[in-house]
Amino acid sequence: MTGSHCTFPSLSFSQDSQLPSFSALTTLANPVTVAPSQDQTSFPSPSSSRQPGSKAGSPSTSSPTGRRFFLSYLYPSSPRGLLLFIFFLLTSTITILAGPRFFPRIHASVFSLQARLRPPSSTATFSRFSAAVTYSTYVALTPSAAMTVPDKYKNPPQEPPVFTGTKGSIIADARKYCDTYRALLDKIVSEIPPEKATFESVTHPIAHDENEAALFVHILGFYQYVSGSEELRNASTEADKLMNEFGIECNMREDVFKLAESVNKKVDSLGLDPESARLVDKEYNNYIKYGLSIPAGPKRDRFKEIKKRLSEIQIQFQKNLNEENGGLWFTLEELKGVPKDVLEGLQKGEGENEGKIKLSFKYPDLFPTLKFALNSDTRRKVFIENENKCNENAPLFTEAIVLRDEAARLLGFPNHATFRLEDKMAKIPKTVNDFLGDLRRRLAPGGAKEVDHLLALKKKDVEARGLPFDGKYYLWDHRFYDRMMIEEEYSVDENKIAEYFPLQKCIAAMLQIFEKLMGLAFVELTPEERARLSPTGKAEDISWHEDVIIFSVWDDESEGNAFVGYLYLDLHPRPGKYGHAANFNLQPGYIKRDGTKRYPATSLVCNFSKPTATKPSLLKHGEVVTLFHELGHGIHDLTGRTKFSRFHGTNTVRDFVEAPSQMLENWCWTPGPLKELSAHYETGESIPDDLITKLISTKHVNDALFNLRQLHFGIFDMTVHSPENHEAIEKMNLSAEYNKLRAEISGLKGPEDEGNTNTWGNGQATFGHLVGGYDAGYYGYMYSLVYSTDMFFTAFKSNPMDGSVGRTYRHKVLEKGGSREEMDSLKDFLGREPNAEAFYKELGIAE
């Protein structure tokens, strides 16, 4: 949902990072970045069906002398390296095993996605983290890391966070923080009259408290997305509710607002540095957004009531999605064509379902079925049921839309979209609507041509199989024939491509790319190192699940060898886990009270397929792109260098936050990096040049249809958040509007063409983005592509691995986070105003 993502909101997805103290703090407890919506299954995203990767190459030239970056030992190139590697394999007790499948991500703000499930019982296990731990995707790095890490990278100056929360402690810690923060505000108000309020007496103490509280508040909210314990997930959700309600209370305190207002009035005379002055401005304006411009009385009381209810809706909506565990029972015949690896991982039926297998709506099951199932009735049933998998969210979605509109009008805005866009790069709804409308106009002819071509392919296919041709191209046809077209006309088989992208190899190679580009060094923490660095002395206490992989991250020698932070990877699905791919900030970076630096900790939560007994986890090319994108958000989070946690890393405006990671997706469509990311899971050979050429040739296949699908999401978002009047949104049937717009914009047929009404599905009830922080903001995925494409074509296209340019990008864009206007960071890096020339050229449409 990017360093949203998702993403990527209070302890559930919602607002942007520029919120008053407590609110800003709790928003960070949600996925930072989330991938574009993939629950909506009608189209394959370019990042989900066709995209390259890169192979682990030789050690970075910028790596410290003598370091021989430990990742290179995963795929040793010298005889000496090979002998050492074999020696450590023979002397270790680790059994290497991995496994296939997964899907893209969604951005937002601090948390996101799913971790990995234990491999099936037939899969080997080993003692990576404890006596009975399942195989971890990146296990092959352990022996080499232990052997080659220089002493200077062995002692981080800061302990990693701990994940030892219990049902009781999570809720108690949330209450304790509320009490402590309330006492701080009471003390400031009692001691400082408005006329004497200054940055040092009011804003700074609150900001320091916000910084320090984020160290544990984010983690309290994180459990609900990743914990394997339902009890802990529920406690985390309850803590979320408590803190959100308290956040609303704090943000609506008029006595504190008067102090913030006083500081804001005199800000120009205080001699503040730019980031501190920005904090004062954001603090004041966000009190306004919490209703303190509304005169005290019934209207303000109603506004507060709305904010509390919206918080409850957000939490419940996401919980329903996380806990969704439905599915459909099919016979093997009905699933004919679906890859064997997928079928082997499905639940076997008993009793009335004897002889059937259960297909869940999780990505590793859903997408292969829509792509490969020969039976169109099976695909139709899966598609429609997936749209209706969380219908309990439909009334919640409607209530949220109506309440947002009412709240915006209470604040004096004509609609919610105007309210939300005020501090974004787009600024006003007209800018967004013009942008989306213009793209729709330009893309529609290409989309129609693509449908005609795919319909002809469908006709040929069904007639060859002796089936009747209905003359229509349906939503549930698209993934199937899009995949077939790429296989038959471009000779690209996504399952064969995946054999060159075993997950652990991709991770190793991606980290090497970031080493070379940005001057970083990644050191995996072995079980022994975890125990040594753990504040409790227990290795298991510094992760939330046994499959989690942890790295300490450092500047390399060229950047000064300083500590950067901690990176966590939670890569496979499990019950109750967040269901997309996203980046979560666990602890932000900032400058402490004593002037020293506090270092960040960040996590990637993903849903890649598990290893099987015979294969490692193999990534489809689209999954390679997704992983690189999410890792980009993680690097954005790690490399942030700001004074206040409010502005750290991916805490930027929504219509910019995706740009850095979107830019990095280009590396997965470039021959050199693709080579580096690849190594066949059986032979170790890099992906052949001719296959790379074929793969890259598919980058824009059916691109108009994909982008029209994204426009459907964005236009629906703007439609429901900018009604002509409040009565209009109260009367709007959101299910009908969602399906009507999809049919009009996408050009694909749905159940409406079979005689059903537009209310056949509730896709909006699965659209977590619009309840989790991307309200009146989904356009940002397309909008930020203008910036990301401009940056890539201007600075990186001629040499994607230019370390000097990569370091400039790190320091001028990533490092700044939200501490200055995002446009200023862009202009600083580009040396000019950004423009859309490269964006339109890449889409293949005239500017």
Mean pLDDT check: name the lowest of 104-118, 517-531, 681-695, 767-781: 104-118
Instruction: Quote the pLDDT of residue 9.
Output: 26
**Residue 676: is its pLDDT beyond 70?**
yes
Instruction: Quote the pLDDT of residue 92.
Output: 37
Instruction: Quote the pLDDT of residue 99.
Output: 25
**Residue 266: is its pLDDT beyond 50?**
yes
Instruction: Quote the pLDDT of residue 363.
Output: 86
pLDDT tens readout for residues 505-562: 999 999 999 999 999 999 999 999 999 999 999 999 999 999 999 999 999 999 999 9
| Three-state secondary structure string covering 810-825 | HHHHHCCCCCCCHHHH
Greater confidence, 16 or 752? Answer: 752
Q: Please, are residues 205 and 15 in contact by the beta-carbon 8 Å criterion?
A: no
Which two tokens mark 782?
């397309």
Count the helix, strand and coil residues of the chain and give each as a percent rounded to the nearest 5: 55, 5, 40
Q: What is the DSSP letter of 784?
A: H
**Residue 123: is its pLDDT beyond 70?**
no
Question: Rounded to 5 degrees, what are φ and ψ at 363?
Answer: -55, -45
566 strand-pairing partners: 552, 601
* Radius of gyration of the chain from its Cα atoms, rounded to whole angstroms: 26
Instruction: Quote the pLDDT of residue 37.
Output: 59
pTM value? 0.83
Q: Please, are residues 721 and 401 in contact by the beta-carbon 8 Å criterion?
A: yes
**Residue 3: is its pLDDT beyond 90?**
no
pLDDT tens readout for residues 84-102: 333 333 333 322 222 222 2
Instruction: Quote the pLDDT of residue 75.
Output: 37
pLDDT tens readout for residues 274-289: 999 999 999 999 999 9
Instruction: Quote the pLDDT of residue 35.
Output: 63
pLDDT tens readout for residues 349-406: 999 999 999 999 988 899 999 999 999 999 999 999 999 999 999 999 999 999 999 9
Distance CA 308, CA 301 (A): 11
pLDDT tens readout for residues 710-766: 999 999 999 999 999 999 999 999 999 999 999 999 999 999 999 999 999 999 999
Q: Please, are residues 23 and 15 in contact by the beta-carbon 8 Å criterion?
A: yes
Distance CA 710, CA 745 (A): 10
Q: What is the DSSP letter of 722?
A: S
Cα 165 to chain centroid, rounded? 24
**Residue 191: is its pLDDT beyond 80?**
yes
pLDDT band of 21, cuts 50, 70, 90: very low
Beta pairing class for 356-360 and 597-598: unpaired
Among 547, 728, 483, CA closest to 114: 547
- State the chain's mean pLDDT as an integer: 85
Distance CA 732, CA 281 (A): 37
Distance CA 611, CA 614 (A): 8
Identity of the amino acid at 421: L
Instruction: Quote the pLDDT of residue 77.
Output: 40
Q: Please, are residues 119 and 62 in contact by the beta-carbon 8 Å criterion?
A: no
Q: Please, are residues 719 and 115 in contact by the beta-carbon 8 Å criterion?
A: no
Query: What count of other Cβ atoms lies within 10 Å of the Cβ of residue 767?
Result: 24
H-state helical runs in 373-428: 376-387, 393-410, 416-421
Map residue 591 onto helix, strand or coil: strand
Active site residues: 630
Instruction: Quote the pLDDT of residue 31.
Output: 55
**Residue 846: is its pLDDT beyond 50?**
yes
